[in-house]
Structure 1
Amino acid sequence: MEVLNESDIINEEEEEEKKQQANPPCKEVTYVMTELHEFLKQVFERLPARSLLRCSRVCKRWKSVATLILKARESFTWAQYNSHIWSREDERELPVPYILGYFGLDLNICLQEAWSVPTACLLLTEFKRTSDFHGTSLEEASGVDVDSYVSSLLPSSCQVVAVTVPGTVCTTRDLTNCAESEGEGGAVAILFPEMNGARITRFSIRNNLGGNIWEQSGIERHEDVKCILTFTPKTSTARKLAGEKLQEAFFKDGQTPVIAGAIVDHVLRYVVVNGGKSTTECIVFSGERISAASVLLDQDAYTEELVHKELMRLKSAGLSEKNSIGLMFACIGRGCDFYSAWDVESKVFRTLFPKTPLFGLFGNGEIGCTNLPQSKWKNLPEMAHGYTTIMCLISFG
């Protein structure tokens, strides 16, 4: 699979260098391709990130131009598979030569076409074993860990949070379709680039031990944190979930960032601490260009009309939708059986936010609350829930 992998790029460049030595280009071509900055800039601006990384190894001039272009790009992208919205109908029944099957195929295409180099990745998958993914034709798929395989396709500096869940929510990259998958083999990998005025990092919180929450997270006191996503394994026996501890710590410091997440089946990538004690994996979004808001859909929101009413509060928050993502953390008890219809909550969200991709999961418990820019808390809201959905909107301005 051809992806953003430095070793593959180096090997290809060595082969290309041998060819050039055997057939050296004329001096005029060499001058145009190495000295004319504006020409190189116009050519390179049309190339995806993977091609630019390869070009950056040719010479110092190419590296300089490619680096400047990559730094100016700030578009996130994603790969997904959902049997309800799989867009390649001609391949639905045909095995594909990718370890993760149809999801692996889309991930390969995504990485080939990615406009920016990913620095952080959130992987939500309904399968823990690669051999379970739909559509794979490779026998060696059974011996590979999902998280390790996905990480191997990404730059070594990319921070990955990977979890398995009972169900997923995802949107096609052309934004034409969005659907919920409940135990049907869905998966989504969201790839975040480096952005000016924004910081996206992962950290771990010990589930069953006390200690200073600031020291564990690595977050600076009064850092401009706008949103934290938390993923706690269902094997955790902690009386208070990490998401609750985080919100409590921020509230005591007079801060109210959006904290949202869920109890998941498994955390596939976590930092081993204190003899392998389980941890909650988190992704923190901070910086002046980021804004976030969330709403809680409780058991009283049981029809499409009531869901629409609650999500209008999120719409009224007034966050910029130009460069934004939606995140849905739903209880496994909601969804199709709860509404007696498919995709009710995701459908309403997409109606109100047609240009915002929605991702999410069905879990074993939800973390979050209604947290809007105009919210004025006198007391800390309840953060741990069941039979609810947390809808979160993150805007990158």
Structure 2
Amino acid sequence: MGENEEFAASLEDSKAAYVLSNVAEVVERILTFVPTKSLLRIVSVCRLWRNCARRVLRTQQQLTWVSACGPSNTEAHVLCSILAEEVEKVFLVPRTVLTLVDYEGFTGRAFCYKQNKAKKNRHSPDTVEELNLLFPKGCDIMGITTPGVVLTPSGSYSSLPREYQEGEAGFAIMFPSIEGVHIKPFHFCKKSISPTALKEAGLVDNPELRVVLIFVYEAYKTGGVHFLSQILEPLAKSKALIAGGLVESVFSPPRHCCSQGSFGVVGLALSGPKVQGASVLLDQEVSNPKAAEAAIQRLKAAKIPERNTLGFMFACVGRGQNYYHNQANVEADAFHKVFPNTPLFGLFGNGEIGCDRIVKEDYTLCDTDTDSLQHEYTTVMTLVHLG
């Protein structure tokens, strides 16, 4: 390199250094392309970068997710084996995380800690501890296992969702702090459920409650039916959208209040003026692809925006490929056809909770009672918009 070229290069370097040290607009624009974990480390560079990074963090209000399927290359479950690496790449600060994995693949195979055969069928405390380490302190993490999983591959809102009734699969949806949206996790067992507890969780006497995602575990145990009615009865009287299913187990947060194997419920209460919800019920009469698409098409009546909207599919283990005469992915394909830019997540479970309902301002599509919220051999297809 000649003398003139060296001088020109040094001049360009000095100009770049000046801009990156003094021009907030340029620095802030550049930092929008930096993943959040790196952004949090950048705040220590200088005052300008710290202020720019904080402004960028405040604008990161679009939810994201990590999903995985197929046999793992490690001893860990396929989702757990990639989650630590993928969390480094996200562009938000997670405040609430909903994690769902298949029961058979996950049992005894969470992260890469060593386990002997005696522990094969138990969730080690290390599972929860290592999961907590991946996310910021104070982040609420809900971990659920189910017989089957519905997920959208990581990376694009328009990716084709897939139904996994067999094999390893799982997802982790990460919700940031969003203005006008309040997400509150809840957990009840027979020892902790009460009218006061329901009120404290924001499930009753809460005029801003819009959506409740609810997951019941060990519901087949003696007393489980009555317990489920205790929580669904007050919810059925609200104008909120209620949707979920009966799952295998819950591994996070730890359930210190109830004994091993007892029934209970976990979920997310979504409140706030910017939350919208809608759901339709695909009953036993919906038994071919055309009928499934027609049922899902009714969700269009909600007129929910595409941005920051998720689809949830809560299906019976009796549906899926066998129900549709050996046609795979029927309901997920139908959803994608109607909502091509909305990611879909969910489960195949032991029962479904929900009904036809659209919640928009003071309007609901239908009123319902406790009994009509509980179903078998159906699918509850749901849209949730978060502002």
Same fold per superposition (TM over 0.5): yes
How far apart in 1 are the matches of 2:77 and 2:145?
17
Partner of 2:43: 56
Aligned 1:1-397 pairs, distance under 5 A: 33-83=20-70, 96=73, 100=76, 102-104=78-80, 106-127=82-103, 129=106, 132=109, 140=114, 145-172=126-153, 173-174=155-156, 175-207=158-190, 211-212=194-195, 213-215=197-199, 217-219=201-203, 221-234=205-218, 236-240=221-225, 244-252=229-237, 255-270=238-253, 272=255, 274=257, 276=259, 278-339=263-324, 340-373=326-359, 374-377=364-367, 382-397=372-387
How far apart in 2 are the matches of 1:292 and 1:342?
27
How far apart in 2 are the matches of 1:51 and 1:75?
18
- Contact kept in structure 1, 2:69 and 2:78, CA below 8 Å: no
Matched to 1:360, the amino acid is G
SS in 1 for 2:357: coil
The change in CA–CA distance for 1:188 and 1:286 in structure 2 (over 3 A counts) is same
- Contact kept in structure 2, 1:326 and 1:393, CA below 8 Å: yes
Matched to 1:352, the amino acid is V
How far apart in 2 are the matches of 1:256 and 1:155?
33
Matched to 1:328, the amino acid is M
Matched to 1:260, the amino acid is A
Once the two structures are overlaid, the 10-residue window that deviates more, 110-119 or 99-108, is 99-108
Matched to 1:111, the amino acid is V
Cα deviation, residue 394, structure 1: 0.5
Cα deviation, residue 260, structure 1: 0.8
CA deviations on 1:219-275 (whole Å, 9 max, x unpaired) are: 5723411111111112554354666544432454xx311111111111112454645
SS in 1 for 2:322: helix
Once the two structures are overlaid, the 10-residue window that deviates more, 64-73 or 233-242, is 233-242
- Percent of matched pairs sharing the same residue: 28
How far apart in 2 are the matches of 1:44 and 1:34?
13
Once the two structures are overlaid, the 10-residue window that deviates more, 267-276 or 195-204, is 267-276
Cα deviation, residue 300, structure 1: 1.0
What number of residue pairs does the alignment pair up?
A: 356
SS in 2 for 1:327: strand
How far apart in 1 are the matches of 2:368 and 2:214?
24
How far apart in 1 are the matches of 2:355 and 2:296?
13
Once the two structures are overlaid, the 10-residue window that deviates more, 99-108 or 229-238, is 99-108
Cα deviation, residue 61, structure 1: 3.6
Matched to 1:48, the amino acid is P
How far apart in 2 are the matches of 1:306 and 1:351?
13
Cα deviation, residue 121, structure 1: 0.7
**What TM-score does the superposition give when structure 2 sets the normalisation length?**
0.82
How far apart in 2 are the matches of 1:241 and 1:341?
37
The change in CA–CA distance for 1:372 and 1:384 in structure 2 (over 3 A counts) is same
How far apart in 1 are the matches of 2:218 and 2:320?
20
Matched to 1:214, the amino acid is L
- Contact kept in structure 1, 2:278 and 2:383, CA below 8 Å: yes
The change in CA–CA distance for 1:209 and 1:220 in structure 2 (over 3 A counts) is closer
The change in CA–CA distance for 1:57 and 1:344 in structure 2 (over 3 A counts) is same
Specify every segment of 5 or more residues in structure 2 that has no aligned partner in the other structure, as ranges: 1-12
Cα deviation, residue 337, structure 1: 1.1
